[in-house]
Chain A
């Protein structure tokens, strides 16, 4: 998982760069001593650490613009950072790059209940937005598991999801507008409290761009009225096949639950050992179905879904009758990762998506891979949308196990693509999956994406080394290769 080699001319200019950036920022916004910088040397992909050239923590959009313009003029790379919770290494620093942290942008600037929108600075946490509006009975729907810590700006960069995106969509379906700063130091306002716009959907393409196209300095999101009722079903199955079929049957019946989560045998037992949520230990697959909305609708759907899963072969069905019970159903699922962390010195959390119907086949293949690589795997997934989180257990102290775990992970992702899915459903490509991009995209596909990058950052100064395995220079990408009056595809008959 290599990062681009450091440019020694930049490393040699370190003091000059630090002075120049310090002149652009207030006191206390530049961190350059090794000990303090170590707090920024990794993100959620903590197996990899790298010390940045310097850390800057600006306080205003203008300061961000000044820093970016200076870096463009001086050929210095930038790695943007929200809360540093990325699980794919999107915020891992470059040794010859400025780590641009948005942590000081931590205010909610406007709450507009009339128009059901909240405007916040990018460093505000995902949960922070919900907390600001919950007393009035509102919330912000996309709920990645790290929501207590992850930043809304980071959510835009990753197009974060969560349990409830089956019904409420991803971040991109819930953002109304942003203010962003380009590598040229231009501050652009896109969207707002009105819907849609004329011109290209820059907001749409910025969302999920992993810090490669621009830096977000303000966000406006949609808020929703909290549903009147929330209930859950806890359902056990003797096989993943039956569990997967039940999920398809629910959707085929025209029901879109708020969330549908599945755990396999190893995950169930790890969770039970850890929190004792009352999961059936002998179940091969456990399904949690959450239904939310008006009370009459939820009660109706709980019955309807119970019937469907029963027909699909459920061996146990429990419907929550209170908020406490609903939370208890979720307790095991929510503690799945630390529960697995308890039974293994280390684990790799993977993230891929497959079509729902491919779930049983994928689990069969995963069991075979577990044998092949000699490593255990526990599965937790957003069954409703086919987004898998296999947890590969290993011991980093055992020679070769980290490498084997990574190969196992890569093999899982290759299988996701082969089964009609994608490399990443919510964690992003970052550095973790960068070298697998060729599994999903052709050279032409990747080049076209990079041409888009050239429109925003032709010098490749923003977060290089992430997402794309091979960087082509923009001049090369722009060439039309018209030789001797001949054009591409000379063999195709002309009309």
Chain B
């Protein structure tokens, strides 16, 4: 049974009924990202697909207010007409996860999916200014506002981003938008070691050229470093020239023009390389300077193909080893920390999709969950088995 609420009262009625009958709900947008998480332990679905539409868009105020079920395609098209964008470059995982389309803005926020520009512009969580929602207690509440400079009360918007629908049903989102860059170019340098490739990208980011993307793609027995430069035409030309100078001793360089750049960064952000592969696809967040060391240790354990984004801080891996998760996490922990998320595929039972948290942190997370959804109605077990709630009820 799937419910399609159209307004706040509809959502409240569905949640109230779920609380009364003690039947949990699976909260979805248009179900394009089910592969990212564990199966939700619920038979009934609450879909936000019909809570769709632009509520308010003021380009000169850099603010967009939308209902959470609005399609990302629609938002990108609207912003594009005004030469604006969601600067965190939300990814389209439809290829990677075999879905029809790139999903809803609510899904983007719930999963904090941010693309290549995350390294310079920030993640989805840096662009959610405010929201309206219904909690797992059936309380309607709001947080944040339409203005960026706001420190009034707790920043619950941050809590909602990446929460996978576990705290509240988001109905309306207020987002910060930014002007799109006028043009873009990408410099490519090819070298023979991963360590050199990452050092090249790091050097670019430590310079004054202000890159907005840094990726490393293994190509046969070589490594290609890609650095994106965006902005007004005269600035891009200048900075590309400066970067070429900085990197002249590091290897042979080629230049990708605007169209080639758009295509390249789309492929990288959307993980297109792994759309057709079988096996597991892992997303790793690591300390960028540990990239070469981590990949050396991982390759000793098992055969895997990979590429890196976020100047080396984001690694996408494809492997067929069902035990890969445990040694991936051990190796990351031994190299400055980070996390690993099984984005697609199945691992052995002992391995959780999401990064296990230290006990004290997971206890705090459980208490935060109770604060919003004490009966565990919303997306139960979506990130793994949930600790039992200590909710008090008066009946």
Which B residue's beta carbon lies closest to that of A177?
A: B337
**Quick one: given A188-B360, A195-B118, A422-B150, are A295 and B238 in contact (CB under 8 Å)?**
yes
Q: How far is the CA of A213 from the CA of B158 in the complex (A)?
A: 15
Q: Which residues on B sit within 8 Å (CB–CB) of A113?
A: 206
CB atoms of A357 and B393 under 8 A apart: no
Q: Which residues on B sit within 8 Å (CB–CB) of A423?
A: 152
CB atoms of A487 and B16 under 8 A apart: yes
Instruction: Determine which of A225, A251, A294, A421 lies in contact with B239 in the assembled complex, contact meaning CB atoms within 8 Å.
Output: A294
CB atoms of B149 and A382 under 8 A apart: yes
CB atoms of A115 and B288 under 8 A apart: yes
Using a CB-CB cutoff of 8 Å, which residues 198-224 of chain A contact chain B?
Answer: 198-205, 207-209, 213
**Quick one: given A182-B364, A455-B368, are A492 and B12 in contact (CB under 8 Å)?**
yes
CB atoms of B285 and A425 under 8 A apart: no
A104 at the binding interface (Cβ < 8 Å): no
Which A residue's beta carbon lies closest to that of B44?
A: A495
B387 at the binding interface (Cβ < 8 Å): no
Using a CB-CB cutoff of 8 Å, which residues 216-257 of chain A contact chain B?
Answer: 225-228, 248-249, 251-252, 254-256
**Quick one: given A444-B139, A494-B16, are A456 and B145 in contact (CB under 8 Å)?**
no
CB atoms of B336 and A193 under 8 A apart: yes
Q: How far is the CB of A442 from chain B (nearest CB, A)?
A: 8
CB atoms of A448 and B139 under 8 A apart: yes
Q: How far is the CA of A478 from the CA of B374 in the complex (A)?
A: 8
Q: How far is the CB of B351 from chain A (nearest CB, A)?
A: 14
Q: Which residues on B sit within 8 Å (CB–CB) of A475?
A: 392
Q: How far is the CB of B141 from chain A (nearest CB, A)?
A: 4
Please tell me which stretch of B68-76, B228-236, B299-307 contacts chain A, meaning at least 4 of its Cβ atoms lie within 8 angstroms of it: B228-236
Instruction: Determine which of B147, B152, B208, B362 lies in contact with A228 in the assembled complex, contact meaning CB atoms within 8 Å.
Output: B208
CB atoms of B238 and A294 under 8 A apart: yes
CB atoms of B313 and A300 under 8 A apart: no
Please tell me which stretch of B91-99, B121-129, B184-192, B216-224 contacts chain A, meaning at least 4 of its Cβ atoms lie within 8 angstroms of it: B121-129
Q: Which residues on A sit within 8 Å (CB–CB) of B57?
A: none
Q: Which residues on A sit within 8 Å (CB–CB) of B386?
A: none
A267 at the binding interface (Cβ < 8 Å): no
CB atoms of A492 and B354 under 8 A apart: no
Which A residue's beta carbon lies closest to that of B370?
A: A455
Q: Which residues on A sit within 8 Å (CB–CB) of B59?
A: 252
Instruction: Determine which of A172, A227, A356, A385 lies in contact with B208 in the assembled complex, contact meaning CB atoms within 8 Å.
Output: A227
CB atoms of B314 and A195 under 8 A apart: yes
Interface bits B62-86 vs A (CB < 8 Å: 1, else 0): 1100000000000000000001100
Please tell me which stretch of A20-28, A31-39, A158-166 contacts chain B, meaning at least 4 of its Cβ atoms lie within 8 angstroms of it: A158-166
Which B residue's beta carbon lies closest to that of A477?
A: B371
Residue ranges of B at the interface with A (Cβ–Cβ < 8 Å):
3, 9-10, 12-14, 16-17, 19-20, 58-63, 83-84, 112, 114, 118-119, 122-123, 125-126, 135, 137-143, 145-159, 161-163, 167, 178-180, 182, 202, 205-210, 231-232, 234-235, 237-239, 242, 285-289, 310, 313-314, 336-339, 341, 354-355, 357, 360-362, 364-365, 367-372, 374-375, 383, 391-395
Q: Which residues on B sit within 8 Å (CB–CB) of A308?
A: none
**Quick one: given A194-B336, A201-B158, A495-B17, are A479 and B392 in contact (CB under 8 Å)?**
yes
Interface bits A81-116 vs B (CB < 8 Å: 1, else 0): 000000000000000000000000000000011111
The number of inter-chain residue pairs (CB within 8 angstroms) is 323
A428 at the binding interface (Cβ < 8 Å): yes
Q: Which residues on B sit within 8 Å (CB–CB) of A115?
A: 202, 287-289, 313
CB atoms of B372 and A451 under 8 A apart: yes
Q: Which residues on A sit within 8 Å (CB–CB) of B338?
A: 192, 194
A197 at the binding interface (Cβ < 8 Å): yes
Q: How far is the CA of A227 from the CA of B154 in the complex (A)?
A: 32
Q: How far is the CA of A449 from the CA of B142 in the complex (A)?
A: 10
CB atoms of A479 and B149 under 8 A apart: no
CB atoms of A197 and B285 under 8 A apart: yes
Q: How far is the CB of B382 from chain A (nearest CB, A)?
A: 12
**Quick one: given A201-B162, A492-B13, A494-B16, are A444 and B141 in contact (CB under 8 Å)?**
yes
A480 at the binding interface (Cβ < 8 Å): yes
Using a CB-CB cutoff of 8 Å, which residues 146-173 of chain A contact chain B?
Answer: 158-159, 161, 165, 169-170, 172-173
Interface size class of A (residues with CB under 8 A): 35 or more
**Quick one: given A197-B339, A448-B156, are A385 and B238 in contact (CB under 8 Å)?**
no
**Quick one: given A204-B159, A386-B147, A455-B370, are A294 and B393 in contact (CB under 8 Å)?**
no
Q: Which residues on B sit within 8 Å (CB–CB) of A199?
A: 162, 354-355, 357, 361-362, 365, 383
- 9 example contacts (A-B, Cβ-Cβ < 8 A) are as follows A165-B148, A169-B126, A194-B287, A195-B285, A201-B162, A254-B83, A355-B63, A449-B156, A488-B138
A13 at the binding interface (Cβ < 8 Å): no
Instruction: Determine which of B83, B145, B155, B207 lies in contact with A172 in the assembled complex, contact meaning CB atoms within 8 Å.
Output: B155
Give me the 9 closest cross-chain CB pairs, A-B, nearest first: A204-B158, A297-B235, A254-B179, A425-B149, A455-B367, A194-B338, A451-B371, A296-B238, A252-B60
Q: Which residues on A sit within 8 Å (CB–CB) of B238?
A: 294-297
Q: How far is the CA of A454 from the CA of B207 in the complex (A)?
A: 45
**Quick one: given A294-B210, A425-B151, A475-B392, are A495 and B13 in contact (CB under 8 Å)?**
yes
CB atoms of A170 and B14 under 8 A apart: no
Q: Which residues on B sit within 8 Å (CB–CB) of A296?
A: 234-235, 237-239
Interface bits A415-457 vs B (CB < 8 Å: 1, else 0): 0000011111111110001000100111011111101111110
Instruction: Determine which of B114, B151, B182, B383 lies in contact with A208 in the assembled complex, contact meaning CB atoms within 8 Å.
Output: B151
Instruction: Determine which of B10, B150, B235 lies in contact with A300 in the assembled complex, contact meaning CB atoms within 8 Å.
Output: B235
Q: How far is the CA of A58 from the CA of B370 in the complex (A)?
A: 33
Q: How far is the CB of A367 from chain B (nearest CB, A)?
A: 22
Instruction: Determine which of B151, B357, B393 lies in contact with A482 in the assembled complex, contact meaning CB atoms within 8 Å.
Output: B393
Q: How far is the CB of A440 from chain B (nearest CB, A)?
A: 6
Q: How far is the CB of B167 from chain A (nearest CB, A)?
A: 8
CB atoms of A353 and B16 under 8 A apart: no
Q: Which residues on B sit within 8 Å (CB–CB) of A300?
A: 232, 234-235
**10 other contacts beyond A113-B206, A482-B394, with CB at 8 A cut-off?**
A165-B148, A195-B118, A195-B285, A198-B354, A204-B158, A252-B59, A420-B146, A440-B153, A445-B141, A480-B392
